[in-house]
Chain A
Amino acid sequence: MQYSWFNRNLRWIYVLPALLFVLLMMVVPVLYTVRLSLFEWSMSAVSPPVFVGFANYAALFRDQRFWDATVNTFYFTIVALAIEVALGLAVALLLNRKFKGKNIAKTVMLLPMVATPVAMGMVWMLMYEPSIGAANMLLKALGLKPQLFLASMTQVIPSLILVDVWQWTPMVSLILLAGLSTLPADPYESADVDGANAWQKFIHITLPLLMPTIVIATMLRLIDVLKTYDIIYATTQGGPNLKSETLNIYGYVLGFQYFKFGYASALLVVFFLIVLALTLLLILFRNRTRDAL
Protein backbone atom coordinates (compact mmCIF):
# COMPACT_ATOMS: atom_id res chain seq x y z
CA MET A 1 0.00 0.00 0.00
CA GLN A 2 1.22 3.49 -0.80
CA TYR A 3 0.81 5.99 2.03
CA SER A 4 0.48 9.70 1.47
CA TRP A 5 3.49 11.97 1.94
CA PHE A 6 2.22 12.85 5.41
CA ASN A 7 2.13 9.24 6.59
CA ARG A 8 5.44 8.31 4.98
CA ASN A 9 7.20 11.06 6.88
CA LEU A 10 5.12 10.68 10.03
CA ARG A 11 8.01 9.96 12.37
CA TRP A 12 9.67 13.29 11.55
CA ILE A 13 6.42 15.26 11.51
CA TYR A 14 5.58 13.89 14.97
CA VAL A 15 8.86 14.92 16.57
CA LEU A 16 9.23 18.20 14.72
CA PRO A 17 7.12 20.51 16.97
CA ALA A 18 8.68 19.18 20.16
CA LEU A 19 12.14 19.34 18.63
CA LEU A 20 11.59 22.95 17.52
CA PHE A 21 10.40 23.87 21.01
CA VAL A 22 13.42 22.22 22.61
CA LEU A 23 15.75 23.90 20.14
CA LEU A 24 14.28 27.40 20.52
CA MET A 25 13.50 27.31 24.23
CA MET A 26 16.38 25.21 25.54
CA VAL A 27 19.33 24.64 23.24
CA VAL A 28 19.54 28.19 21.90
CA PRO A 29 19.18 29.79 25.37
CA VAL A 30 21.90 27.56 26.84
CA LEU A 31 24.27 28.38 23.98
CA TYR A 32 23.35 32.05 24.41
CA THR A 33 24.23 31.83 28.11
CA VAL A 34 27.62 30.34 27.24
CA ARG A 35 28.23 33.16 24.75
CA LEU A 36 27.00 35.81 27.16
CA SER A 37 29.51 34.58 29.76
CA LEU A 38 32.25 36.02 27.53
CA PHE A 39 30.65 39.48 27.52
CA GLU A 40 30.04 42.27 29.95
CA TRP A 41 26.50 43.59 29.73
CA SER A 42 23.85 44.92 32.06
CA MET A 43 20.99 44.91 29.54
CA SER A 44 21.27 48.58 28.87
CA ALA A 45 19.84 49.80 25.57
CA VAL A 46 22.55 52.42 25.09
CA SER A 47 25.66 50.35 25.73
CA PRO A 48 25.86 47.08 23.80
CA PRO A 49 27.55 43.96 25.22
CA VAL A 50 31.35 44.27 25.37
CA PHE A 51 33.46 41.20 24.59
CA VAL A 52 35.73 40.49 27.56
CA GLY A 53 36.93 36.94 26.81
CA PHE A 54 37.38 34.88 29.94
CA ALA A 55 37.53 37.90 32.25
CA ASN A 56 34.21 36.98 33.86
CA TYR A 57 35.54 33.53 34.74
CA ALA A 58 38.80 34.98 36.06
CA ALA A 59 36.85 37.43 38.22
CA LEU A 60 34.56 34.64 39.39
CA PHE A 61 37.44 32.52 40.66
CA ARG A 62 38.77 35.53 42.60
CA ASP A 63 35.32 36.24 44.06
CA GLN A 64 35.15 35.16 47.72
CA ARG A 65 31.33 35.23 47.59
CA PHE A 66 31.44 32.63 44.79
CA TRP A 67 33.63 30.31 46.87
CA ASP A 68 31.42 30.77 49.93
CA ALA A 69 28.37 29.91 47.82
CA THR A 70 30.19 26.83 46.48
CA VAL A 71 30.98 25.68 50.03
CA ASN A 72 27.35 26.30 51.08
CA THR A 73 26.07 24.36 48.06
CA PHE A 74 28.24 21.34 48.84
CA TYR A 75 27.51 21.51 52.58
CA PHE A 76 23.77 21.60 51.92
CA THR A 77 23.91 18.92 49.20
CA ILE A 78 26.13 16.35 50.91
CA VAL A 79 24.36 16.45 54.28
CA ALA A 80 20.83 16.58 52.85
CA LEU A 81 21.56 13.81 50.35
CA ALA A 82 23.15 11.51 52.96
CA ILE A 83 20.22 11.95 55.36
CA GLU A 84 17.57 11.57 52.65
CA VAL A 85 19.05 8.35 51.27
CA ALA A 86 19.71 6.74 54.68
CA LEU A 87 16.38 7.80 56.16
CA GLY A 88 14.55 7.04 52.93
CA LEU A 89 15.94 3.50 52.98
CA ALA A 90 14.99 3.06 56.65
CA VAL A 91 11.42 4.25 56.05
CA ALA A 92 11.11 2.06 52.94
CA LEU A 93 12.19 -1.01 54.94
CA LEU A 94 9.77 -0.06 57.69
CA LEU A 95 6.86 0.19 55.28
CA ASN A 96 7.83 -2.86 53.22
CA ARG A 97 5.33 -5.28 54.74
CA LYS A 98 1.64 -5.90 54.39
CA PHE A 99 -0.48 -3.84 56.75
CA LYS A 100 -3.82 -2.13 56.86
CA GLY A 101 -3.55 1.47 55.74
CA LYS A 102 -0.42 1.02 53.61
CA ASN A 103 -2.07 3.14 50.94
CA ILE A 104 -2.86 5.85 53.47
CA ALA A 105 0.79 5.80 54.53
CA LYS A 106 1.92 6.19 50.93
CA THR A 107 -0.50 9.07 50.37
CA VAL A 108 0.71 10.87 53.49
CA MET A 109 4.28 10.56 52.25
CA LEU A 110 3.25 11.98 48.91
CA LEU A 111 1.98 15.23 50.44
CA PRO A 112 5.31 16.97 51.27
CA MET A 113 6.68 16.49 47.78
CA VAL A 114 3.68 17.68 45.81
CA ALA A 115 2.74 20.59 48.09
CA THR A 116 3.79 23.98 46.70
CA PRO A 117 7.38 24.53 47.96
CA VAL A 118 6.96 28.29 48.46
CA ALA A 119 3.90 27.71 50.67
CA MET A 120 5.74 25.03 52.61
CA GLY A 121 8.69 27.41 53.02
CA MET A 122 6.28 29.88 54.65
CA VAL A 123 4.91 27.20 56.97
CA TRP A 124 8.42 26.24 58.07
CA MET A 125 9.24 29.93 58.58
CA LEU A 126 6.35 30.14 61.02
CA MET A 127 7.43 26.92 62.74
CA TYR A 128 11.04 28.16 63.01
CA GLU A 129 9.99 31.64 64.24
CA PRO A 130 12.08 32.02 67.44
CA SER A 131 9.40 33.58 69.64
CA ILE A 132 6.17 32.04 68.35
CA GLY A 133 7.23 28.93 66.40
CA ALA A 134 6.47 25.26 67.02
CA ALA A 135 10.17 24.32 66.99
CA ASN A 136 11.00 26.36 70.10
CA MET A 137 7.77 25.24 71.79
CA LEU A 138 9.03 21.69 71.36
CA LEU A 139 12.51 22.54 72.65
CA LYS A 140 11.01 24.30 75.69
CA ALA A 141 8.76 21.33 76.42
CA LEU A 142 11.86 19.12 76.35
CA GLY A 143 13.62 21.53 78.74
CA LEU A 144 16.07 22.76 76.11
CA LYS A 145 17.15 26.31 75.26
CA PRO A 146 15.26 28.07 72.44
CA GLN A 147 17.19 28.55 69.20
CA LEU A 148 17.25 31.09 66.35
CA PHE A 149 17.10 28.58 63.46
CA LEU A 150 16.77 30.48 60.16
CA ALA A 151 17.93 33.71 61.78
CA SER A 152 21.18 32.16 63.02
CA MET A 153 24.29 32.21 60.84
CA THR A 154 25.33 28.71 61.95
CA GLN A 155 21.92 27.05 62.14
CA VAL A 156 20.44 28.37 58.92
CA ILE A 157 21.80 25.63 56.63
CA PRO A 158 20.97 22.73 59.00
CA SER A 159 17.47 24.23 59.39
CA LEU A 160 17.02 24.38 55.60
CA ILE A 161 18.39 20.84 55.29
CA LEU A 162 15.66 19.67 57.66
CA VAL A 163 13.02 21.23 55.38
CA ASP A 164 14.52 19.52 52.32
CA VAL A 165 14.73 16.21 54.21
CA TRP A 166 11.09 16.54 55.26
CA GLN A 167 10.07 17.33 51.69
CA TRP A 168 12.08 14.75 49.77
CA THR A 169 12.84 11.73 51.97
CA PRO A 170 9.41 10.34 50.95
CA MET A 171 10.48 10.39 47.29
CA VAL A 172 13.52 8.22 48.08
CA SER A 173 11.31 5.92 50.18
CA LEU A 174 8.67 5.51 47.48
CA ILE A 175 11.28 4.72 44.82
CA LEU A 176 13.01 2.20 47.10
CA LEU A 177 9.67 0.72 48.13
CA ALA A 178 8.92 0.08 44.45
CA GLY A 179 12.40 -1.46 44.13
CA LEU A 180 11.91 -3.68 47.21
CA SER A 181 8.68 -5.10 45.82
CA THR A 182 10.54 -6.47 42.78
CA LEU A 183 13.22 -8.38 44.76
CA PRO A 184 13.14 -12.18 44.28
CA ALA A 185 12.07 -14.38 47.21
CA ASP A 186 14.53 -17.28 46.63
CA PRO A 187 17.66 -15.81 48.29
CA TYR A 188 15.67 -15.05 51.45
CA GLU A 189 14.30 -18.59 51.61
CA SER A 190 17.74 -20.18 51.34
CA ALA A 191 19.09 -17.70 53.91
CA ASP A 192 16.31 -18.79 56.27
CA VAL A 193 17.43 -22.40 55.75
CA ASP A 194 20.98 -21.35 56.65
CA GLY A 195 19.68 -19.65 59.79
CA ALA A 196 20.63 -16.07 58.88
CA ASN A 197 19.29 -13.27 61.10
CA ALA A 198 17.49 -10.16 59.88
CA TRP A 199 20.62 -7.99 59.88
CA GLN A 200 22.64 -10.54 57.89
CA LYS A 201 19.83 -10.84 55.38
CA PHE A 202 19.74 -7.04 55.01
CA ILE A 203 23.51 -6.68 54.52
CA HIS A 204 24.06 -9.70 52.27
CA ILE A 205 20.83 -9.86 50.25
CA THR A 206 18.66 -6.74 50.38
CA LEU A 207 21.39 -4.12 50.13
CA PRO A 208 23.29 -5.61 47.14
CA LEU A 209 20.08 -6.37 45.24
CA LEU A 210 18.64 -2.94 45.93
CA MET A 211 21.89 -1.09 45.12
CA PRO A 212 20.99 -0.16 41.51
CA THR A 213 17.72 1.43 42.70
CA ILE A 214 19.51 3.22 45.55
CA VAL A 215 22.05 4.68 43.12
CA ILE A 216 19.28 5.94 40.83
CA ALA A 217 17.32 7.51 43.68
CA THR A 218 20.56 9.14 44.86
CA MET A 219 21.25 10.48 41.38
CA LEU A 220 17.78 11.99 40.98
CA ARG A 221 18.04 13.63 44.40
CA LEU A 222 21.63 14.81 43.79
CA ILE A 223 20.59 16.75 40.68
CA ASP A 224 17.68 18.40 42.47
CA VAL A 225 19.38 19.06 45.82
CA LEU A 226 22.26 20.85 44.07
CA LYS A 227 19.72 23.08 42.33
CA THR A 228 17.51 23.71 45.38
CA TYR A 229 16.03 27.15 44.94
CA ASP A 230 12.41 27.52 46.05
CA ILE A 231 12.66 26.84 49.78
CA ILE A 232 15.91 28.80 50.18
CA TYR A 233 14.79 31.85 48.25
CA ALA A 234 11.32 31.82 49.79
CA THR A 235 12.58 31.70 53.37
CA THR A 236 16.03 33.32 53.69
CA GLN A 237 16.97 34.62 50.21
CA GLY A 238 20.47 33.44 51.06
CA GLY A 239 20.67 35.20 54.43
CA PRO A 240 21.41 35.90 57.20
CA ASN A 241 24.62 37.56 56.06
CA LEU A 242 24.76 35.33 52.92
CA LYS A 243 25.26 32.26 55.12
CA SER A 244 22.69 30.22 53.17
CA GLU A 245 23.55 31.57 49.73
CA THR A 246 24.07 28.65 47.34
CA LEU A 247 25.35 28.88 43.75
CA ASN A 248 21.82 28.86 42.38
CA ILE A 249 20.77 31.74 44.64
CA TYR A 250 23.94 33.73 43.90
CA GLY A 251 23.38 33.22 40.16
CA TYR A 252 19.86 34.52 40.53
CA VAL A 253 20.97 37.54 42.56
CA LEU A 254 23.74 38.40 40.05
CA GLY A 255 21.36 38.16 37.13
CA PHE A 256 18.12 39.60 38.38
CA GLN A 257 19.08 41.90 41.23
CA TYR A 258 22.43 43.25 40.01
CA PHE A 259 21.66 42.71 36.29
CA LYS A 260 25.25 41.58 35.67
CA PHE A 261 24.19 39.17 32.95
CA GLY A 262 27.67 38.30 31.67
CA TYR A 263 29.03 37.57 35.13
CA ALA A 264 25.89 35.64 36.12
CA SER A 265 26.19 33.57 32.94
CA ALA A 266 29.79 32.64 33.77
CA LEU A 267 28.64 31.44 37.19
CA LEU A 268 25.79 29.47 35.65
CA VAL A 269 28.13 27.76 33.18
CA VAL A 270 30.46 26.73 36.02
CA PHE A 271 27.45 25.59 38.08
CA PHE A 272 26.12 23.52 35.17
CA LEU A 273 29.52 21.85 34.78
CA ILE A 274 29.54 20.98 38.49
CA VAL A 275 26.07 19.38 38.31
CA LEU A 276 27.00 17.55 35.10
CA ALA A 277 30.32 16.27 36.50
CA LEU A 278 28.73 14.93 39.69
CA THR A 279 25.90 13.27 37.74
CA LEU A 280 28.35 11.60 35.35
CA LEU A 281 30.41 10.43 38.33
CA LEU A 282 27.34 8.70 39.76
CA ILE A 283 26.46 7.13 36.40
CA LEU A 284 30.03 5.81 36.19
CA PHE A 285 29.67 4.41 39.71
CA ARG A 286 26.36 2.79 38.76
CA ASN A 287 27.90 1.11 35.71
CA ARG A 288 30.78 -0.17 37.86
CA THR A 289 28.46 -1.70 40.46
CA ARG A 290 26.31 -3.16 37.72
CA ASP A 291 29.35 -4.84 36.13
CA ALA A 292 30.48 -6.12 39.50
CA LEU A 293 27.23 -7.99 40.03
Chain B
Amino acid sequence: MSRKHTVNVLWGLLTAAILLVFVFPFLWMLLASFKTQAQIMSGELTLIFTPTGQNYASVFQQYDFLRYIANSMIVAVNSTLLSLIIGLPAAYSIAKFRMHKLSVIILIARIVPGISFLVPWYIIFSQLRLVDTYAALVLSHMLVGLPFIVWIMIAFFESLPHEVEEAGLMDGCTPHHVFCQVALPMSVPGIVTSSLLSFIFSWNNFMFSIILAGDKTKTLPIAVFNFMSYAEINWGGLMAAACIITLPVLAIALVAQRYVISGLSAGAVKG
Protein backbone atom coordinates (compact mmCIF):
# COMPACT_ATOMS: atom_id res chain seq x y z
CA MET B 1 0.00 0.00 0.00
CA SER B 2 2.69 2.50 0.98
CA ARG B 3 4.55 1.93 -2.27
CA LYS B 4 1.42 2.65 -4.24
CA HIS B 5 0.94 5.79 -2.17
CA THR B 6 4.48 6.98 -2.96
CA VAL B 7 3.90 6.38 -6.66
CA ASN B 8 0.72 8.43 -6.51
CA VAL B 9 2.44 11.33 -4.76
CA LEU B 10 5.32 11.29 -7.27
CA TRP B 11 2.84 11.18 -10.12
CA GLY B 12 0.96 14.15 -8.67
CA LEU B 13 4.15 16.18 -8.26
CA LEU B 14 5.25 15.44 -11.82
CA THR B 15 1.86 16.49 -13.18
CA ALA B 16 1.94 19.70 -11.16
CA ALA B 17 5.50 20.46 -12.34
CA ILE B 18 4.55 20.02 -16.00
CA LEU B 19 1.47 22.20 -15.64
CA LEU B 20 3.60 24.86 -13.96
CA VAL B 21 5.92 24.91 -16.99
CA PHE B 22 2.92 25.54 -19.25
CA VAL B 23 1.55 28.42 -17.15
CA PHE B 24 4.89 29.96 -16.21
CA PRO B 25 5.16 32.37 -19.19
CA PHE B 26 1.66 33.65 -18.41
CA LEU B 27 2.57 34.28 -14.77
CA TRP B 28 5.76 36.03 -15.84
CA MET B 29 3.84 38.21 -18.28
CA LEU B 30 1.25 39.15 -15.65
CA LEU B 31 3.93 39.90 -13.06
CA ALA B 32 6.00 42.07 -15.41
CA SER B 33 2.93 44.01 -16.55
CA PHE B 34 2.58 45.40 -13.01
CA LYS B 35 6.26 46.28 -12.56
CA THR B 36 8.00 49.57 -13.26
CA GLN B 37 10.68 49.67 -15.96
CA ALA B 38 13.31 50.07 -13.19
CA GLN B 39 12.12 46.93 -11.41
CA ILE B 40 12.23 44.92 -14.64
CA MET B 41 15.64 46.30 -15.68
CA SER B 42 17.19 45.48 -12.29
CA GLY B 43 17.38 41.85 -13.40
CA GLU B 44 16.48 40.67 -9.91
CA LEU B 45 13.74 38.17 -9.24
CA THR B 46 11.24 40.51 -7.55
CA LEU B 47 8.18 38.60 -6.47
CA ILE B 48 6.89 40.94 -3.80
CA PHE B 49 6.44 44.54 -4.87
CA THR B 50 3.82 47.28 -4.97
CA PRO B 51 2.05 46.74 -8.28
CA THR B 52 1.79 49.75 -10.59
CA GLY B 53 -1.10 50.31 -13.00
CA GLN B 54 1.03 52.77 -14.96
CA ASN B 55 1.76 50.29 -17.78
CA TYR B 56 -1.91 49.66 -18.46
CA ALA B 57 -2.70 53.38 -18.30
CA SER B 58 0.05 54.21 -20.79
CA VAL B 59 -1.05 51.46 -23.18
CA PHE B 60 -4.46 53.11 -23.46
CA GLN B 61 -3.39 56.75 -23.25
CA GLN B 62 -0.11 56.84 -25.17
CA TYR B 63 -0.65 54.05 -27.66
CA ASP B 64 -4.39 54.25 -28.31
CA PHE B 65 -5.08 50.56 -27.67
CA LEU B 66 -8.83 51.06 -27.53
CA ARG B 67 -8.82 51.65 -31.26
CA TYR B 68 -6.75 48.52 -31.94
CA ILE B 69 -9.09 46.47 -29.74
CA ALA B 70 -12.05 47.81 -31.73
CA ASN B 71 -10.28 47.01 -35.03
CA SER B 72 -9.49 43.46 -33.92
CA MET B 73 -13.09 42.97 -32.76
CA ILE B 74 -14.58 44.28 -36.01
CA VAL B 75 -12.39 42.04 -38.15
CA ALA B 76 -12.76 38.91 -35.99
CA VAL B 77 -16.55 39.19 -35.61
CA ASN B 78 -17.20 40.01 -39.26
CA SER B 79 -14.90 37.36 -40.69
CA THR B 80 -16.48 34.74 -38.41
CA LEU B 81 -20.06 35.79 -39.25
CA LEU B 82 -19.41 35.85 -42.99
CA SER B 83 -17.65 32.48 -42.80
CA LEU B 84 -20.68 31.06 -41.00
CA ILE B 85 -23.12 32.49 -43.52
CA ILE B 86 -21.41 30.94 -46.52
CA GLY B 87 -19.80 28.00 -44.70
CA LEU B 88 -22.80 26.43 -42.95
CA PRO B 89 -24.92 25.78 -46.09
CA ALA B 90 -21.83 24.51 -47.92
CA ALA B 91 -20.95 22.10 -45.10
CA TYR B 92 -24.55 20.88 -44.97
CA SER B 93 -24.64 20.27 -48.69
CA ILE B 94 -21.30 18.42 -48.66
CA ALA B 95 -22.42 16.27 -45.71
CA LYS B 96 -25.95 15.47 -46.91
CA PHE B 97 -25.41 15.13 -50.63
CA ARG B 98 -22.06 13.34 -50.30
CA MET B 99 -19.96 15.83 -52.21
CA HIS B 100 -16.79 14.81 -50.42
CA LYS B 101 -14.47 15.70 -53.25
CA LEU B 102 -15.08 19.32 -52.35
CA SER B 103 -13.64 18.80 -48.88
CA VAL B 104 -10.27 17.93 -50.42
CA ILE B 105 -9.95 21.64 -51.23
CA ILE B 106 -10.02 22.32 -47.50
CA LEU B 107 -7.07 20.03 -46.88
CA ILE B 108 -5.07 21.69 -49.64
CA ALA B 109 -5.89 25.08 -48.12
CA ARG B 110 -4.21 23.90 -44.93
CA ILE B 111 -1.05 22.87 -46.73
CA VAL B 112 -0.49 25.93 -48.92
CA PRO B 113 1.83 28.41 -47.15
CA GLY B 114 -0.17 31.54 -46.29
CA ILE B 115 2.36 33.83 -47.94
CA SER B 116 1.59 32.36 -51.37
CA PHE B 117 -1.91 33.80 -51.02
CA LEU B 118 -0.56 37.02 -49.65
CA VAL B 119 1.55 38.01 -52.67
CA PRO B 120 -1.37 38.00 -55.17
CA TRP B 121 -3.78 39.56 -52.67
CA TYR B 122 -1.41 42.35 -51.88
CA ILE B 123 -1.04 43.10 -55.58
CA ILE B 124 -4.80 42.95 -56.23
CA PHE B 125 -5.84 44.77 -53.06
CA SER B 126 -3.39 47.59 -53.67
CA GLN B 127 -4.67 48.01 -57.23
CA LEU B 128 -8.24 48.13 -55.91
CA ARG B 129 -7.03 50.50 -53.16
CA LEU B 130 -8.28 48.06 -50.54
CA VAL B 131 -5.10 47.85 -48.48
CA ASP B 132 -5.77 49.26 -45.01
CA THR B 133 -9.52 48.59 -45.19
CA TYR B 134 -11.59 46.28 -43.04
CA ALA B 135 -12.78 44.52 -46.21
CA ALA B 136 -9.27 43.29 -47.06
CA LEU B 137 -8.66 42.08 -43.51
CA VAL B 138 -12.04 40.38 -43.16
CA LEU B 139 -11.65 38.60 -46.52
CA SER B 140 -8.13 37.42 -45.69
CA HIS B 141 -9.07 36.19 -42.22
CA MET B 142 -11.99 34.26 -43.72
CA LEU B 143 -9.42 32.19 -45.51
CA VAL B 144 -8.53 30.60 -42.19
CA GLY B 145 -12.01 30.69 -40.67
CA LEU B 146 -14.11 29.40 -43.57
CA PRO B 147 -12.27 26.12 -44.29
CA PHE B 148 -12.17 25.45 -40.56
CA ILE B 149 -15.89 26.04 -40.07
CA VAL B 150 -16.75 23.88 -43.09
CA TRP B 151 -14.43 21.12 -41.89
CA ILE B 152 -15.94 20.96 -38.39
CA MET B 153 -19.52 21.31 -39.58
CA ILE B 154 -19.32 18.54 -42.22
CA ALA B 155 -18.55 16.09 -39.42
CA PHE B 156 -21.29 17.61 -37.29
CA PHE B 157 -24.03 17.51 -39.93
CA GLU B 158 -23.08 13.93 -40.81
CA SER B 159 -23.62 12.86 -37.22
CA LEU B 160 -27.16 14.30 -37.07
CA PRO B 161 -29.81 11.53 -37.09
CA HIS B 162 -31.44 11.86 -40.49
CA GLU B 163 -34.77 10.45 -39.24
CA VAL B 164 -35.57 13.88 -37.86
CA GLU B 165 -34.84 15.57 -41.15
CA GLU B 166 -36.82 12.99 -43.07
CA ALA B 167 -39.76 13.52 -40.74
CA GLY B 168 -39.57 17.20 -41.58
CA LEU B 169 -39.68 16.43 -45.30
CA MET B 170 -42.68 14.13 -44.77
CA ASP B 171 -44.50 16.92 -43.00
CA GLY B 172 -44.22 18.98 -46.13
CA CYS B 173 -41.23 21.15 -45.31
CA THR B 174 -38.95 22.02 -48.20
CA PRO B 175 -35.29 20.93 -47.91
CA HIS B 176 -34.38 24.58 -47.36
CA HIS B 177 -36.75 24.80 -44.39
CA VAL B 178 -35.42 21.55 -42.98
CA PHE B 179 -31.91 23.02 -43.04
CA CYS B 180 -32.97 26.31 -41.42
CA GLN B 181 -35.49 25.01 -38.90
CA VAL B 182 -34.32 21.48 -38.10
CA ALA B 183 -30.63 20.99 -38.92
CA LEU B 184 -29.32 24.38 -37.76
CA PRO B 185 -31.01 24.42 -34.31
CA MET B 186 -29.74 20.88 -33.70
CA SER B 187 -26.19 21.94 -34.57
CA VAL B 188 -25.73 24.74 -32.07
CA PRO B 189 -22.82 23.02 -30.22
CA GLY B 190 -20.93 22.56 -33.49
CA ILE B 191 -21.63 26.13 -34.55
CA VAL B 192 -20.42 27.44 -31.18
CA THR B 193 -17.23 25.38 -31.39
CA SER B 194 -16.33 26.43 -34.90
CA SER B 195 -17.25 30.10 -34.35
CA LEU B 196 -15.13 30.36 -31.21
CA LEU B 197 -12.11 28.93 -32.98
CA SER B 198 -12.64 31.03 -36.07
CA PHE B 199 -12.79 34.09 -33.80
CA ILE B 200 -9.58 33.06 -32.03
CA PHE B 201 -7.74 32.44 -35.32
CA SER B 202 -8.73 35.88 -36.56
CA TRP B 203 -7.94 37.60 -33.26
CA ASN B 204 -4.45 36.04 -33.25
CA ASN B 205 -3.71 36.52 -36.95
CA PHE B 206 -0.39 38.21 -37.57
CA MET B 207 0.81 37.21 -41.03
CA PHE B 208 -2.10 38.56 -43.09
CA SER B 209 -2.69 41.63 -40.96
CA ILE B 210 0.89 42.83 -40.98
CA ILE B 211 0.66 43.25 -44.77
CA LEU B 212 -2.98 44.20 -45.27
CA ALA B 213 -3.57 46.42 -42.22
CA GLY B 214 -2.47 50.05 -42.19
CA ASP B 215 -2.70 52.95 -39.78
CA LYS B 216 -6.49 53.03 -39.86
CA THR B 217 -7.17 49.32 -39.43
CA LYS B 218 -4.17 48.17 -37.39
CA THR B 219 -5.15 45.13 -35.30
CA LEU B 220 -3.81 44.22 -31.85
CA PRO B 221 -1.06 41.76 -32.88
CA ILE B 222 0.43 44.39 -35.18
CA ALA B 223 0.17 47.07 -32.49
CA VAL B 224 1.97 44.80 -30.03
CA PHE B 225 4.63 43.99 -32.61
CA ASN B 226 5.19 47.70 -33.32
CA PHE B 227 6.06 48.24 -29.67
CA MET B 228 9.50 46.85 -30.44
CA SER B 229 10.42 49.53 -32.92
CA TYR B 230 10.96 52.07 -30.14
CA ALA B 231 14.60 52.62 -29.23
CA GLU B 232 14.39 51.17 -25.73
CA ILE B 233 11.80 48.46 -25.29
CA ASN B 234 9.21 49.51 -22.71
CA TRP B 235 8.93 46.01 -21.24
CA GLY B 236 6.20 46.85 -18.71
CA GLY B 237 4.02 48.43 -21.38
CA LEU B 238 4.73 45.57 -23.77
CA MET B 239 3.70 42.98 -21.17
CA ALA B 240 0.55 44.98 -20.31
CA ALA B 241 -0.29 45.01 -24.03
CA ALA B 242 0.39 41.27 -24.22
CA CYS B 243 -1.95 40.69 -21.26
CA ILE B 244 -4.71 42.76 -22.87
CA ILE B 245 -4.48 40.91 -26.18
CA THR B 246 -4.42 37.42 -24.64
CA LEU B 247 -7.13 38.07 -22.05
CA PRO B 248 -10.21 37.55 -24.31
CA VAL B 249 -8.76 34.41 -25.86
CA LEU B 250 -7.86 32.95 -22.48
CA ALA B 251 -11.33 33.81 -21.20
CA ILE B 252 -12.87 31.90 -24.12
CA ALA B 253 -10.59 28.94 -23.44
CA LEU B 254 -11.49 28.90 -19.74
CA VAL B 255 -15.24 29.26 -20.20
CA ALA B 256 -15.66 27.06 -23.26
CA GLN B 257 -12.80 24.62 -22.65
CA ARG B 258 -14.77 21.58 -23.80
CA TYR B 259 -15.80 23.21 -27.07
CA VAL B 260 -12.34 24.49 -27.88
CA ILE B 261 -10.66 21.13 -27.26
CA SER B 262 -13.22 19.26 -29.34
CA GLY B 263 -12.77 21.80 -32.12
CA LEU B 264 -8.99 21.68 -32.14
CA SER B 265 -8.86 17.90 -32.21
CA ALA B 266 -11.84 17.44 -34.54
CA GLY B 267 -9.82 17.05 -37.71
CA ALA B 268 -7.50 14.65 -35.95
CA VAL B 269 -9.91 12.22 -34.40
CA LYS B 270 -11.96 11.93 -37.56
CA GLY B 271 -8.81 11.25 -39.56
Contact = CB atoms under 8 A, between A and B. Distances in A.
Chain B binds chain A: yes
A26 B144 CA distance: 11
Contacts of A43: 123, 126
B6 interface: no
Contacts, number: 258
A191 interface: no
A119 to B, nearest CB: 4
Contact of A107 (B245, B253, B267): B253
A21 interface: yes
A19 to B, nearest CB: 7
B172 interface: yes
Contacts of B120: 28-29, 32-33, 36
Contacts of A178: 265, 268-269
Contacts of B114: 227, 229
B11 interface: yes
B116 interface: yes
Interface stretch (A57-65, A131-139, A153-161, A200-208): A131-139
B246 A119 contact: yes
B19 interface: yes
A171 interface: yes
Given A15-B94, A119-B221, A234-B225, A25 B260 contact: no
Contact of B150 (A18, A107, A112, A272): A18
B29 interface: yes
Contact of A123 (B28, B117, B221): B28
A132 B238 CA distance: 15
Given A110-B261, A256-B122, A14 B207 contact: no
A212 B268 CA distance: 10
B161 interface: no
B141 to A, nearest CB: 11
B117 A110 contact: no
B224 A118 contact: yes
Contact of A26 (B94, B143, B220, B254): B143
Nearest to A35: B120
B252 interface: yes
B41 A272 contact: no
A94 B90 contact: no
B200 interface: yes
B207 A229 contact: yes
Interface residues of A, number: 89
Given A118-B225, A212-B271, A91 B257 contact: no
B253 A166 contact: no
B93 A116 contact: no
Contact of B246 (A11, A25, A116, A132): A116
B99 interface: yes
B105 interface: yes
A264 B113 CA distance: 12
A177 to B, nearest CB: 9
A252 interface: yes
Interface in B1-38: 11-12, 14-15, 18-19, 21-26, 28-29, 32
Interface of B: 11-12, 14-15, 18-19, 21-26, 28-29, 32, 40-43, 45, 85-87, 89-90, 92-94, 96-97, 99, 102, 105, 109-123, 126, 139, 142-143, 146-147, 150, 172, 174-176, 179, 200, 203-204, 206-207, 210-211, 220-221, 224-225, 227-228, 235, 238-239, 241-242, 245-246, 249-250, 252-254, 257, 260-261, 264-265, 267-269, 271
Given A22-B146, A25-B139, A272-B113, 15 more contacts: A15-B93, A15-B94, A18-B150, A19-B102, A114-B252, A116-B245, A118-B224, A122-B238, A174-B264, A227-B114, A229-B114, A251-B113, A256-B122, A268-B113, A275-B111
Interface of A: 1, 3-4, 6-7, 10-15, 17-19, 21-22, 25-30, 32-33, 36, 43, 91, 94-95, 99, 103, 105-120, 122-124, 126-127, 131-132, 134, 137, 166, 170-171, 174-175, 178-179, 212-213, 216-217, 220, 223, 227, 229-230, 233-234, 248, 251-252, 255-256, 261, 264-265, 268-269, 271-272, 275-276, 279
